[in-house]
């Protein structure tokens, strides 16, 4: 079996959430537990950190992994979804699992795995945990895929749990209120395992507090421990007033964007807790990890600059809370015309995001090549109800080319609305090869 044949098997034979939506989900952990048992419970053979949240969990995962790498620890990193290559999901010290290892895992286990009819996500989680155990990582940073309580990653017993924030996303699956969504994400809280919550919210704080107290778990709201002031936006440099005894003056972040100054807070609190658990992480190593997160982990698509003149930025933010941050920053930096290349999947709150869009922007509606993508012409018609004007161009790269042809030097072009729109950008391939 070649690597491409292996990918074809994974994509075609196994239900995959980003292609078919909720039908791909297993609403219990029975399957992943049974698969893990057949593999000898690899998730018990390495320490881990578990990260959930509506937004920011990917950035937090990569920043924390970069810090641990900088401190000399062999660090596993499991994230989802991937943008360009399946292997982005499973990394050790920033290096993706090899094609040969992906093929070997499928071929070695295919004969019994099919008895369980695993989802794509269950299989990739099992592959990641087996890879981390076999390679004897010192620690693994594991990002939740969806929710928390019933997510396949939730078979781990981590050293530390992190919930970045709660926002309105996947409401049809996780609940129709902040409290209901928080209860699903609180499912990663384990007895005796410290919990870091990135942001306070009046409707959800009590949910996390009650769950933590009930399990005898210490809870830390990172927002209470740090205050941030922005020194520079590009590059992003912040001052952090800390209550944990460390000084963070002129802290540079390679991950930029308006939301990273919030995302870094649960990371800093987690580092403080990890040092209390025996990990040796010096201030210089924290700075090195944050200043080199992209280089160390290979993360893409977070406020990523594709071109300078005119400025072209892409971002994988794909729900209303993320869009609020993004649009505020885009309007702040744009001195000319704002061009928005947007595509959405059809189970998101599209109207909620469209109502946030500035009416003086120029819009190019497109669609990623996944079945869940909303048809661009329909997006154009929906947008008209909010006074938004533009064109419908199905192909993502053609839509960006049209925006670049129309833009002048002072303009700003944004590409996003969906992770899968960003994933199809040719520029990501070119930057990765540069």
Whether the CA torsion 307, 311, 314, 315 is positive or negative: it is positive
And the tokens for 122?
């269950």
Give the residue, 176 or 319, on which the prediction is more confident: 319
pLDDT average, residue stretch 138-165: 96
pLDDT computed for residue 12 by the predictor: 77
DSSP 357: S
pLDDT tens column, 174-191? 556 889 999 999 999 999
Angle at 182 between CA 178 and CA 188, to 5 degrees: 165
Number of Cα atoms under 13 Å in the Cβ half of residue 43: 23
Residues 129 and 158 in one domain: yes
Distance (Å, whole) CA 329 – CA 311: 13
**Per-residue confidence band for 29, with pLDDT thresholds at 50, 70 and 90:** very high
**Residues of the chain above pLDDT 90, percent:** 80
Residues 226 and 172 in one domain: yes
Residues 308 and 293 in one domain: no
Given 248, 270, 297, the domain boundary residue is 297
Is residue 53 scored above 60 in pLDDT?
Answer: yes
pLDDT computed for residue 172 by the predictor: 44
pLDDT computed for residue 347 by the predictor: 85
pLDDT average, residue stretch 115-127: 91
**Residues of the chain above pLDDT 70, percent:** 93
Q: Which domain holds residue 134?
A: 3-297
Is residue 30 scored above 80 in pLDDT?
Answer: yes
Whether the CA torsion 416, 417, 423, 426 is positive or negative: it is negative
pLDDT computed for residue 258 by the predictor: 82
Distance (Å, whole) CA 1 – CA 7: 10
E-state strands within 265-360 = 304-308, 311-314, 338-342
According to DSSP, the β-strands at 248-253 and 236-242 are antiparallel
CB 136 within 8 A of CB 46: yes
Residues 20 and 152 in one domain: yes
Is residue 348 scored above 90 in pLDDT?
Answer: no
Distance (Å, whole) CA 230 – CA 237: 6
pLDDT average, residue stretch 374-388: 97
pLDDT computed for residue 20 by the predictor: 47
| DSSP-assigned letters across all residues of 107-174 | HHHHHHHGGG---HHHHHHHHHHHHHHHTT-SEEEEE-SSSSTT-GGGG---SEEEE----S-SHHHH
| H or E element that contains 324 | helix 320-333
Given 244, 269, 297, the domain boundary residue is 297
CB 217 within 8 A of CB 192: yes
**Per-residue confidence band for 247, with pLDDT thresholds at 50, 70 and 90:** confident
Residues 240 and 315 in one domain: no
pLDDT computed for residue 432 by the predictor: 45
| CATH number of the domain where residue 86 is located | 3.40.1190.10
pLDDT computed for residue 168 by the predictor: 60
pLDDT computed for residue 114 by the predictor: 83
Give the residue, 433 or 216, on which the prediction is more confident: 216
Count of beta carbons in the 10 Å neighbourhood of residue 247 = 10
pLDDT tens column, 390-420? 999 999 999 999 999 999 999 999 999 999 9
pLDDT computed for residue 369 by the predictor: 92
Burial label for 259, CB within 10 Å (0-12, 13-18, 19+), is: buried
Domain count, the chain: 2
CB 198 within 8 A of CB 205: no
Q: How many residues would you count in the chain?
A: 434
pLDDT computed for residue 398 by the predictor: 98
| DSSP-assigned letters across all residues of 10-64 | HHHHS--HHHHGGGG--SSSHHHHHHHHHTT-GGGSS-EEEEE-SSSHHHHHHHH
Residues 312 and 288 in one domain: no
Residues 261 and 333 in one domain: no
Residues 273 and 141 in one domain: yes
CB 60 within 8 A of CB 171: no
pLDDT tens column, 65-102? 999 999 999 999 999 989 999 999 999 999 999 999 99
pLDDT tens column, 193-239? 999 999 999 999 999 999 999 999 999 999 999 999 999 988 899 99
Distance (Å, whole) CA 267 – CA 269: 5
Residues 292 and 334 in one domain: no
**Per-residue confidence band for 244, with pLDDT thresholds at 50, 70 and 90:** confident
Is residue 422 scored above 60 in pLDDT?
Answer: yes
Does residue 310 have a cis bond before it (omega within 30 degrees)? yes
**Among the ranges given (4-8, 19-23, 143-147, 371-375), the one the predictor scored with the smallest mean pLDDT:** 19-23
Given 262, 297, 332, the domain boundary residue is 297
Residues 64 and 184 in one domain: yes
Distance (Å, whole) CA 81 – CA 63: 17
Distance (Å, whole) CA 339 – CA 357: 11
Distance (Å, whole) CA 400 – CA 402: 5
pLDDT average, residue stretch 126-152: 96
The three-class DSSP label of residue 207 is helix
**Per-residue confidence band for 169, with pLDDT thresholds at 50, 70 and 90:** low
| CATH number of the domain where residue 325 is located | 3.90.190.20
Residues 288 and 347 in one domain: no
Residues 249 and 325 in one domain: no
């Amino acid at each position: 079996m070649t690597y491409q044949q292996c990918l074809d098997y994974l994509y075609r034979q196994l239900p995959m959430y980003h292609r078919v939506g909720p039908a791909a989900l297993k609403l219990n952990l029975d399957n992943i537990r049974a698969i893990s048992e057949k593999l000898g419970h690899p998730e018990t053979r390495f320490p881990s950190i578990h990260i959930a949240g509506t937004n920011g969990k990917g950035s937090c995962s990569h920043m924390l992994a970069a810090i641990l790498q900088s401190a000399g620890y062999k660090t596993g990193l499991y994230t989802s979804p991937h943008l360009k290559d399946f292997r982005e999901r499973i990394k050790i010290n920033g290096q993706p699992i090899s094609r040969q290892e992906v093929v070997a895992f499928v071929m070695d286990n295919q004969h019994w795995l099919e008895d369980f009819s695993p989802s794509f996500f269950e299989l990739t989680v099992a592959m990641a945990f087996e890879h981390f155990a076999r390679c004897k990582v010192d620690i693994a940073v594991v990002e939740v895929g969806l929710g928390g309580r019933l997510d396949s990653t939730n078979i781990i017993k981590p050293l530390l749990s992190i919930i970045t924030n709660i926002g309105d996303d996947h409401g049809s699956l996780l609940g129709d209120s902040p409290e209901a969504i928080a209860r699903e994400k609180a499912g990663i809280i384990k007895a005796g395992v410290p919990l870091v919550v990135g942001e306070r919210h009046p409707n959800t704080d009590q949910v996390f507090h009650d769950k933590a107290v009930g399990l005898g778990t210490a809870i830390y709201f990172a927002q209470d421990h740090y205050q941030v002031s922005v020194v520079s936006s590009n590059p992003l440099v912040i001052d952090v007033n800390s209550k944990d005894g460390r000084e963070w003056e002129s802290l540079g972040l390679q991950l930029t964007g308006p939301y990273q100054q919030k995302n870094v807070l649960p990371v800093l609190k987690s580092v403080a807790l990890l040092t209390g658990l025996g990990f040796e992480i010096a201030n210089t190593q924290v700075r090195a990890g944050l200043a080199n997160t992209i280089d160390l982990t290979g993360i893409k698509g977070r406020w990523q600059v594709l071109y300078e003149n005119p400025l072209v930025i892409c971002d994988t933010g794909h729900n209303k809370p993320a869009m609020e941050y993004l649009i505020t920053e885009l309007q702040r930096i744009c001195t000319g015309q704002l061009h928005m290349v947007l595509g959405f999947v059809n189970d998101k709150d599209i109207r909620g995001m469209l109502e946030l869009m500035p009416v003086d922007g120029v819009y190019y509606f497109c669609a990623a090549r996944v079945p869940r993508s909303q048809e661009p012409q329909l997006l154009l018609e929906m947008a008209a109800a909010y006074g938004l004007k533009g064109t419908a161009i199905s192909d993502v790269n053609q839509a960006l080319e049209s925006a670049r042809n129309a833009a002048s030097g002072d303009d700003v072009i944004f590409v996003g609305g969906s992770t899968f729109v960003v994933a199809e950008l040719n520029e990501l391939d070119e930057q990765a090869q540069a």
